[in-house]
A and B are shown apart, each in its own frame.
Chain A
Amino acid sequence: MEYPLITFDYFIIKKTYSMKENLLIVTILLLLGSCEKINLPPITNLTVNIEADSISFAIIGDFGEAGDPAFKVSELVKSWSPDFVVTLGDNNYDRGELSTFQENIGQYYCDFIYNPDAPADCQCNGMATLEAQNKFFPTLGNHDQQNANYSQPYLAAFTLPGKETYYSFRWGPAEFFTVNSGKNGEADCCGSEQASWLKTALLQSKAKFKVVYFHHPPYSSSNHGNFTNMQWPFEEWGASIVLSGHSHLYERVNKIDTDFYYVVNGLGGRKKIYGCNVNPVDEIDLEHFCYNETHGAIKVEANNDFMKLSFIAIDDPDAKIDEIILFD
């Protein structure tokens, strides 16, 4: 009896093999499975601290699937000429492999990416490289870690501050903090290395606006629902807003009578869009807005007095689907 296909993480064998051959191949691949040649650059003391009175930036989430939606979102983002781009994870579908980096990310956002430590075929050659200043700040999504080497391709492809799986950077009046919410949103508060770091970093930050972002949403009404493990005491630690992705829609959630917002944006390019109110968030305590008609991105403008976030869809770049204003 012959079996047409074996898949093992990176390896796809398209010939037909007998059961014995299959077993032999699987054994060899199991032995080799952890040895894919990814050279990680050593951790550097890279910091990003840009002085500016006012800034503009874009927030995209779940964008790493090459295709028309991803292209249109990238064109929308570029039309705003943002200073930099923040991503909310799932940068590179389906498995976060280096081999799909250029197709899913590079062709759309290389102008913002400066990654001199990346493997040669993943290095970008756009404006950011010319200026030797990275302007692309991703966070790890579940799809960025779903390969035999976990987040190593992500770590190899980007040149990021700090430990790279979690880090912060300062740009003008805002400081940004990202953590790895894990493969399944399992990152637990509050004793973990990154949670301890985040708490300390937020409490010590002197920035006007402190933006926390990661992949799995603490609150979402979509298919995945709330990720309760990620409901950390961000507000208590001094954060101004929490951004996440994973749910392929746009959502804004805030506790009634407060201006502390949880924003979800997973409409960056992944073709499949999720439904609103599949798992309704608690309507008694929370105010909730949801949008899922088409793809889009968040445009942000900030200065020392306010930060304005506007969700804009690709089909009408002049209209704001939703707007949030944070004041100092």
Chain B
Amino acid sequence: MQRLTLLFIFFPFFLSAQSPYEIDRNKETWILGLGVATYLNGFILEKRLDPLSLDDILDLDRSSLSRFDRNATFKFSTKGDQVNDILLYSSFSLPLFFLQAHKSRNDFGKILTLYGETLLTTSGLTYLTKRLAKRARPFVYNELAAISDKQKVSARFSFFSRHTAVTASNCFFAAKVFSDYYPDSKLKPYVWVTASIVPALSGFFRVQAGKHFYSDVVVGYSLGAAVGFLIPHIHKVKKDKRISFYPAPTGIRITWNIR
């Protein structure tokens, strides 16, 4: 069964019949390539990144932060952190719904491919941006937090929130795929509302834990939601292919077919 599942993952496009999605080798190569490239760049940058020194930490000043972000520097909760992990790891299981649902069951390999791209894109962008921004986490400003935690390289990965971005990406991906397979379902509004709330909760608890500023989670939420929505969207079978989006070497290629 494990072999069969792997087969589904790597050869998904043999399985679809009446699928709302189509897979294009060219498009998938670009998306996966960009995802891997962001990871590699992030990895190279991390190798060059030093942790904050004790003097750097003691020089940090809350008053230099915007009022919007400053409150997070007073928060420090390990419980908030635990709730976040539960939300994040639970959201990874969402695609399994489509393995069980009868309309998407035969398309599961394709869905997994799209999910893999979604996860890779969100995580890759988060991974790279954190290492470019090098923003100190809010707890680094907090006198109650341990110096040893503040002197880890990861204490500089505040912008933007990976937990929130990946949770948003998972939830919005699941909601989008559900909507595409069941466009007439009465459950759609509930699915979208739930998909919106869960990553917001994740963001809230990340701030409570002192791991992120509000701006980190707002950006993480927005990016995760956008990727989770757009990856399935750009793979939809176009009934009227008047406008199409493709990744291109210089960015995204938009084609408008005038008939």
Q: Are B143 and A166 in contact (CB under 8 A)?
A: yes
| B74 interface neighbour in A42, A151, A179, Cβ under 8 Å | A151
Given contacts A40-B62, A41-B63, contact A187 B70 (CB under 8 A): no
Q: Are A35 and B144 in contact (CB under 8 A)?
A: no
Given contacts A40-B62, A150-B74, contact A193 B143 (CB under 8 A): yes
Q: Are A193 and B150 in contact (CB under 8 A)?
A: yes
List of B residues within 8 angstroms of A179 by Cβ: 143
List of A residues within 8 angstroms of B129 by Cβ: none
Proximity string of chain B (143-166) to chain A, C-beta cutoff 8 Å, 1 when within and 0 when not: 111111010000000000000000
Nearest CB in chain A: distance from B250 CB, A: 38
List of B residues within 8 angstroms of A41 by Cβ: 63
Whether A36 is near chain B, meaning CB under 8 Å from some CB there, is: yes
| B71 interface neighbour in A39, A150, A155, Cβ under 8 Å | A150
Proximity string of chain A (180-222) to chain B, C-beta cutoff 8 Å, 1 when within and 0 when not: 1010001110011110100000000000000000000000000
**Residue count of chain B within 8 Å CB distance of chain A:** 21
List of B residues within 8 angstroms of A152 by Cβ: 70-71, 74
List of A residues within 8 angstroms of B71 by Cβ: 34, 148-150, 152
List of B residues within 8 angstroms of A150 by Cβ: 71, 74-75
Nearest CB in chain A: distance from B206 CB, A: 14
Whether B127 is near chain A, meaning CB under 8 Å from some CB there, is: no
Nearest chain B residue, comparing its CB with the CB of A42: B63
How far does the alpha carbon of A38 sit from the alpha carbon of B63 in the complex, in Å?
Answer: 10
List of B residues within 8 angstroms of A38 by Cβ: 67
Q: Are A194 and B74 in contact (CB under 8 A)?
A: no
Instruction: Pick from B67, B145, B214 the residue with the most CB of A within 10 Å.
Output: B67
List of B residues within 8 angstroms of A155 by Cβ: 62
How far does the alpha carbon of A149 sit from the alpha carbon of B63 in the complex, in Å?
Answer: 13
Tell me the chain A residues, 133-186 only, with Cβ under 8 Å from chain B.
145, 148-152, 155, 163, 165-166, 179-180, 182, 186
How far does the alpha carbon of A187 sit from the alpha carbon of B70 in the complex, in Å?
Answer: 20
Nearest chain B residue, comparing its CB with the CB of A163: B143
Nearest chain A residue, comparing its CB with the CB of B74: A150
Instruction: Pick from A43, A145, A192 the residue with the most CB of B within 10 Å.
Output: A192
Whether B57 is near chain A, meaning CB under 8 Å from some CB there, is: yes
How far does the alpha carbon of A149 sit from the alpha carbon of B62 in the complex, in Å?
Answer: 12
| B61 interface neighbour in A42, A148, A166, Cβ under 8 Å | A42
How far does the alpha carbon of A53 sit from the alpha carbon of B84 in the complex, in Å?
Answer: 56
How far does the alpha carbon of A312 sit from the alpha carbon of B221 in the complex, in Å?
Answer: 57
List of B residues within 8 angstroms of A40 by Cβ: 62-63, 70
Q: Are B147 and A193 in contact (CB under 8 A)?
A: yes
Given contacts A145-B74, A150-B71, A150-B74, contact A43 B144 (CB under 8 A): no
Instruction: Pick from B70, B75, B214 the residue with the most CB of A within 10 Å.
Output: B70
Instruction: Pick from B61, B70, B144, B146 the residue with the most CB of A within 10 Å.
Output: B144
How far does the alpha carbon of A179 sit from the alpha carbon of B70 in the complex, in Å?
Answer: 20
Nearest CB in chain A: distance from B154 CB, A: 16
How far does the alpha carbon of A194 sit from the alpha carbon of B146 in the complex, in Å?
Answer: 9
How far does the alpha carbon of A187 sit from the alpha carbon of B63 in the complex, in Å?
Answer: 22
Nearest chain B residue, comparing its CB with the CB of A186: B144
Whether B68 is near chain A, meaning CB under 8 Å from some CB there, is: yes
Tell me the chain B residues, 62-97 only, with Cβ under 8 Å from chain A.
62-64, 67-68, 70-71, 74-75
Q: Are B57 and A191 in contact (CB under 8 A)?
A: no
Nearest chain A residue, comparing its CB with the CB of B59: A43
List of A residues within 8 angstroms of B64 by Cβ: 42
Tell me the chain A residues, 2-47 only, with Cβ under 8 Å from chain B.
34-43
Given contacts A150-B74, A151-B74, A193-B57, contact A37 B67 (CB under 8 A): yes
List of A residues within 8 angstroms of B144 by Cβ: 180, 182, 186-188, 192-194
List of A residues within 8 angstroms of B57 by Cβ: 193
How far does the alpha carbon of A179 sit from the alpha carbon of B142 in the complex, in Å?
Answer: 12
With contacts A37-B67, A152-B74, A193-B57 known, what are 20 further pairs, Cβ within 8 A? A34-B71, A34-B214, A35-B68, A39-B67, A40-B62, A40-B70, A41-B63, A150-B74, A151-B74, A155-B62, A163-B58, A163-B143, A179-B143, A187-B144, A188-B144, A191-B148, A192-B146, A193-B142, A193-B145, A196-B147
- Show the binding face of A for B, using Cβ within 8 Å: 34-43, 145, 148-152, 155, 163, 165-166, 179-180, 182, 186-188, 191-194, 196
